[in-house]
Structure formats: structure tokens, C-alpha cells
A = this chain, B = another copy of it.
């Protein structure tokens, strides 16, 4: 075996955390979010070591160092907060800390002769350190050295050697000649806060119809923006806004034949007038899009576009780049199929083509095109039907130039596939939330997700244009309130497909189906935004609560709590400084009131059994005085199927938030 470069590098770094697959994938953070690094480091015998966290942006020329603190059990910790978007590297350096080893022995020496000799050794170490120091530190070290092997009384010299001041001086001038650095460094992708905390609203601009028109435009849809902004959403996600193919166009309710009036599916992208870089003529022009996007910005909204990398048979790519499509032996292009089903309105791109480089480059250009047109958020359609390495390259490549760009993966697939896409770089991911409705299902699933927090950011959707869950079909308006509360509090990021959601649209295409009847995917739908019974106010309040309570702006502290009713689910979150504590109780039964006792986690909140505390229920504005570990709650579907409590402890006669970790 090869000799190591220097066998005196004796500190052995076992593991650095956090890491995904031992560093094969990067972890994720948002700007302002700390990376709390821990390392397990061992060395032979009774040697002491010192550790340093090293971090730098990728492409940076030198490491930034942060001294690490020993936690015991060979573990060391330090944190850094990346200050720029993009990729950063981090790793750990460790070295034998000769001074600490010497000092630790001195503490335990008892014989005068030993102490005297040790002080001479120590003086030599301190003098050596002085050569690594400057200015006042150097002078101080030399002074200590002179004392240590000077003529003073032994005990005074020993005390001097053991001062914290000397320890600090020595720690600041370490001998790192024989440091070990953990290789290869780990990586963190730092994205902007929207990656972690975001409320999404999806709608079809073409449904923003104003009579006598049959098709909305970006201009008419701009009015929807105001409606959405008023509800407090952050991101407006539009299904594809591109020209729609005519060949094999789908009709209402996914029928195989479309009439002239039928607009077709927005995901059948491409017609004579353009493809992925064009705007559907009936929606408007590119200038209209710019106007629309600027209006969104004015309202504090971001637009998310849908990246659906597939083509209708009429897409310009079919004629311009025939090699990008698989061909059948009869020369016709291979349409999408999963035999015996055929999707003749879609031509999938052939990623096995010899011209893969040109294909990848064009798809990247599509993204760059929309970035140049002001878009920084993309929802990606079915990424699991395109090669994994393609996404790893695309996201990383785009983010290298535009580190503020976010990608949401819409992949309803096997868990392994969904997690892999997140590892490969998707900023956020759709989840199984829609199909997790019972207390056990929700608890199990979010417990599973919690173990993947370092790379998987869930975005919870109670409904999408493809998914109208049975729970919403049968639960009535309360079901919508329940699922919205769950999504908005379990998830720092959540989204709804509206106005179908707030108008509690629950009619499936047929019994047993998860498709909407008269789905907006295949026709325009007129929505009465002012309809009575709209959950608009409710969503507005939920979004306001999220914005006002930092606890809800991250998933890291999600903890399920015990409540003695299977229909009631209870969980809490808290802000990182502990001052904002939110406890949520949701009645999962949309038909009946449910009651139960919550086991309040007083220990977690440093509350004694006798300490009174207050709960402000933020949806209704009611306040409650609670005390002790058992609190009784009743939730009724009609009035308030979900309670979002902010927990306070009055420390003085004036109300003050309490310090969670006091």
C-alpha cells in the first residue's frame, strides 16, 4: 500500500456530518440557515486533538476556518452560515494538539520533579507558538514562556501554565503542520429562503375568462394575481403557457376527440407558432407575459412556470430535430405509450438519441430563455420520466449561473425515485401528502420525511389538477379546511390548485376516480371567486399565520404530540431561538366534532406542572389559560376543524413570549 504523505498526521477523522450518502450528494440549506457540522475524530492513546471546520464557496480560493468545540465521545462541532447562494464546500481539519496533551498531563502531575520538567517542555511549546503569533499575542506568549521555565516558585509557574488565558493564546496559534483534512469535502447547496418557506397557488390563466371571450388571457389573468396576492400566497404556478398541439388534441374529460372549441391540454406543448419558448397565442405575446410577470412582482408574487419536457406532434422540434424523437419502423414518430394505453397527443423526447448533447443544450436554453424573461422558479413535470443524470446536470448547470433559481419536482413515483431526484438537486418535491389522511398515515409519513431533511424539502399539495382525493370528494367544505390546515402547518412549503380548492370543488369525473369532472386540464372553467362559502378568508388567515410565526417557516422542528383520539392529530413546531412555539391540533373527521386530551410536552417547553401558560388560537383569535400536562380540546368541523395555538408563558404581568429552551 502506498505510504501516506506524512505519517505524523495522526488525527483520524472518522466521519463528518451532515452528509448524504457519505458525501455523494450535497445537503441543502437556505441563505441564513446554519450548517451545524459535527465530526468524529480519534487519535491514538491519550493524545489530545484540536479540530477546525473549514468551509468555502465552491470556486473560492481559500478556506474559512471555524474552531470546533468538543462535545465528548470523540465528537466535535461548529457551525457556519453561508452568506452567498450556490454551492459551498465544508470539511474538517484535525491535528494533534500537543499543548492540550501537555496541559492535560500537567493537571494530573503530582511530583515536583515531574512538574519542573513538564514546565520546561511547556515553555518550549509556548515559544514555538510565539513564532506563529504576532503583535500582542506573540509578546504574551513569550512572557508566559519566560515564566514557565523561569526561576519563580514552582506552584506559581504551574498555575500560570494552567490559566485559561494561556490556553486561549495557544489555541489561537495552533501548530497545524500535521493536520489531517477529511477528504473529499462535503457540499451544501445554498438556495434562497423561498426554497424552504413558500405558499404556492396554481391556476389556469386561460380560465380567467371575461365574457364574451371563451379563453382567458394573461391580461385577464392579471386580475387573478391580485386575488391570489391578497390571500397571502408567495408563488403563482402556471401550467404550461405555450402553444398547444392540434393533432390528437384531447377533449373535455380526456376524451380522444376535441372539437374546434376545445383548448386541449396545456401539457401537449407545441404548435406551428412555437414550442417551449413561445406563449400560447390566445394567452398573449411575450410582451404580455412580461407585463403579467411585472404585475406579479408588484404584488409581491413570483411566477413559477411548468417545465414539461415533451412535445405535441405539432411541436416545431419534430420537424427541426427529428433525431430527438424515437421512430417506429414505419417511420412515424413514437408517441407516448404504456401499452396498452396510448397517449397520441404526446411525443416524448428520446434521451437515448445520438444527439443527446444538442437535446440537453436546447432544454437548458429553454430554461435560460425563461430566466431571461424574469422567471426564477420552475415546477418540473414528471422528472422521473427523464434521465436522472440529465436533471443533475441541468439543475447544477443552471444554478451555477443563476443560484437563485428553484426547481420543484412533480414526481409521483417510488420513494427511492423521489428521494433520488431531491438528492440530485431539486429544491422542493411533491410528496405522498395527498394520500396520507389518517393520523397514523400522516405521522408515519412525516416521520419518514424528517430523516431526509438535509436534502428533501416537501411541498404539500392537498389537491392538484390531476388529483382530487376521495377525502375531498366526500368530506365537504370541512375536508378542504382540514387539508389546508394540515398542508400549511405540517409544511413550510405548501400549495393548492385553485380556485377549485377554495371553492371546495369536490366532484370527480366518475365514482372512484381521482380526476376532476370537467377538468380544467381539458377545458376552461369559469370560477366565481366571490362565491359564498369560499375558503378565501380561511386561506388568507392561514397564510398570515405562517408569515407571522417563524416556527412555521421550517420543517426542522416538527414533532408529533400525543392526543388521545385517533381522529385528532397534534404536532408542534418552534422557531430556532425558541421564542415562537406553535401547537397544532386538527380534527381529521370532516363530519363530526371530536374531543380529546393533549399530552402537553411541558418538559420540552421547560414548564413546570404548576406553571400557567396561555394558548392563543390564531385562526379564531381566542385565548385560553392552560396549566399542566393535560389539556382538553373540542374541534368541530363546521366552525374550526383545526386549531393553531401559539403558546405563551406570562413571566410578568405584561405578556411576554417565553424562551423555549430556558
- Does A153 touch B at the CB level, under 8 Å? no
Task: Map CB proximity to B onto A41-60 as digits: 1 under 8 Å, 0 otherwise.
Answer: 01111100000000000000
Q: Using CB atoms, name the residue of chain B closest to A124.
A: B329
Known: A352-B178, A393-B3, A393-B4. A388 touches B329 (CB 8 A): no
> How many residues on chain A are close to B (CB under 8 Å)?
68
- Does A298 touch B at the CB level, under 8 Å? no
Q: Which of A379-387, A434-442, A444-452 contacts B (4 or more CB under 8 A)?
A: A379-387
B387 and A7 contact, CB distance less than 8 A? yes
Instruction: Tell me, rounded to whole Å, the shortest Cβ–Cβ distance linking A287 to chain B.
Output: 33
B44 and A387 contact, CB distance less than 8 A? yes
Contact of A387 among B10, B40, B385 (CB under 8 A): B10
- Does A339 touch B at the CB level, under 8 Å? yes
- Does A351 touch B at the CB level, under 8 Å? yes
Q: How far is the CA of A14 from the CA of B111 in the complex (A)?
A: 60
Residues in B with CB closer than 8 Å to A390 are 7
The listed residue with most B CB atoms (<10 A of its CB), out of A21, A24, A46, A356, is: A356
B114 and A339 contact, CB distance less than 8 A? yes
A96 and B44 contact, CB distance less than 8 A? no
- Does A340 touch B at the CB level, under 8 Å? yes
The listed residue with most B CB atoms (<10 A of its CB), out of A15, A45, A386, is: A45
- Does A1 touch B at the CB level, under 8 Å? yes
Q: Using CB atoms, name the residue of chain B closest to A395.
A: B1
Q: Which of A414-422, A585-593, A640-648 contacts B (4 or more CB under 8 A)?
A: A414-422
Q: How far is the CA of A356 from the CA of B416 in the complex (A)?
A: 48
B416 and A10 contact, CB distance less than 8 A? no
Which residues A535-587 have CB closer than 8 A to chain B? none
B416 and A42 contact, CB distance less than 8 A? yes
22 contacts between A and B (CB under 8 A): A1-B393, A3-B393, A4-B393, A7-B357, A12-B389, A21-B22, A40-B416, A42-B417, A43-B387, A45-B384, A45-B385, A45-B386, A46-B338, A73-B416, A110-B340, A114-B339, A117-B328, A117-B330, A120-B330, A121-B328, A121-B329, A124-B329
Residues in B with CB closer than 8 Å to A386 are 44-45
Q: Using CB atoms, name the residue of chain B closest to A340.
A: B110
- Does A109 touch B at the CB level, under 8 Å? yes
- Does A625 touch B at the CB level, under 8 Å? no
Task: Map CB proximity to B onto A74-118 as digits: 1 under 8 Å, 0 otherwise.
Answer: 100000000000000000000010000000011111110010010
Q: How far is the CA of A12 from the CA of B4 in the complex (A)?
A: 33
- Does A396 touch B at the CB level, under 8 Å? yes
B96 and A352 contact, CB distance less than 8 A? yes
Instruction: Tell me, rounded to whole Å, the shortest Cβ–Cβ distance linking A97 to chain B.
Output: 12
Contact of A329 among B8, B106, B117, B420 (CB under 8 A): B117
Q: How far is the CA of A420 from the CA of B338 in the complex (A)?
A: 50
- Does A9 touch B at the CB level, under 8 Å? yes
A389 and B4 contact, CB distance less than 8 A? yes
Instruction: Tell me, rounded to whole Å, the shortest Cβ–Cβ distance linking A116 to chain B.
Output: 9
Instruction: Tell me, rounded to whole Å, the shortest Cβ–Cβ distance linking A184 to chain B.
Output: 11
- Does A597 touch B at the CB level, under 8 Å? no
Which residues A101-158 have CB closer than 8 A to chain B? 105-111, 114, 117, 120-121, 124
Residues in B with CB closer than 8 Å to A387 are 7, 10, 12, 43-44
A416 and B74 contact, CB distance less than 8 A? yes
**7 tightest A-B CB contacts, nearest first:** A22-B22, A1-B396, A120-B329, A108-B339, A12-B388, A7-B356, A10-B387
Contact of A416 among B1, B4, B14, B328 (CB under 8 A): B14
Q: Using CB atoms, name the residue of chain B closest to A3.
A: B393
Q: Using CB atoms, name the residue of chain B closest to A360.
A: B7
Residues in B with CB closer than 8 Å to A297 are none
Instruction: Tell me, rounded to whole Å, the shortest Cβ–Cβ distance linking A7 to chain B.
Output: 4
Instruction: Tell me, rounded to whole Å, the shortest Cβ–Cβ distance linking A86 to chain B.
Output: 12
Contact of A1 among B43, B107, B400 (CB under 8 A): B400
Q: Using CB atoms, name the residue of chain B closest to A398.
A: B1
The listed residue with most B CB atoms (<10 A of its CB), out of A1, A10, A330, A392, is: A1
B389 and A7 contact, CB distance less than 8 A? yes
Instruction: Tell me, rounded to whole Å, the shortest Cβ–Cβ distance linking A105 to chain B.
Output: 5
A44 and B385 contact, CB distance less than 8 A? yes
Residues in B with CB closer than 8 Å to A36 are none
Instruction: Tell me, rounded to whole Å, the shortest Cβ–Cβ distance linking A3 to chain B.
Output: 7
Q: Using CB atoms, name the residue of chain B closest to A414.
A: B74
Residues in B with CB closer than 8 Å to A362 are none
Task: Map CB proximity to B onto A8-30 as digits: 1 under 8 Å, 0 otherwise.
Answer: 11101011000001111000000
- Does A337 touch B at the CB level, under 8 Å? yes
Q: Using CB atoms, name the residue of chain B closest to A114.
A: B339
Q: How far is the CA of A111 from the CA of B1 in the complex (A)?
A: 62
- Does A397 touch B at the CB level, under 8 Å? yes
Residues in B with CB closer than 8 Å to A24 are 22
Residues in B with CB closer than 8 Å to A348 are 45
Q: How far is the CA of A329 from the CA of B106 in the complex (A)?
A: 15
Residues in B with CB closer than 8 Å to A384 are 44-45
Instruction: Tell me, rounded to whole Å, the shortest Cβ–Cβ distance linking A496 to chain B.
Output: 28
Q: Using CB atoms, name the residue of chain B closest to A1.
A: B396
Residues in B with CB closer than 8 Å to A14 are 416, 420
